[in-house]
Amino acid sequence: MMKYKISIKPYNYECGDGCCTEFGNEYYVDGEFVYRGPCDNEGWLAVWTAIGIQAEIVNLDIDTGEEVCGIDNYLNEN
């Protein structure tokens, strides 16, 4: 079984005039950058893709436990 080192580094970005800020994480697999952004779901999908795993993240309704929207669906709709 292959073992990978996954590193997550938080970042804070502020534009030059200070009107815009963004917080998120940078994801690395074995020292190689794979994703930077505020969405942890997208970050984990980038990590899994980098190590050869095909996956989908879905959200479940808090009351029914039924799938309400997958991240792939959200990305394709927007």
**What pLDDT is recorded for position 78?**
40
pTM for the structure as a whole: 0.75
Let me know: does 10 contact 25? Beta carbons within 8 Å: yes
Return d(Cα 15, Cα 2) in angstroms, integer. 40
Give mean pLDDT in consecutive 10-residue pieces for the chain, a chain of 78 residues: 96 89 96 95 94 89 82 48
Domain limits of the chain? 6-77
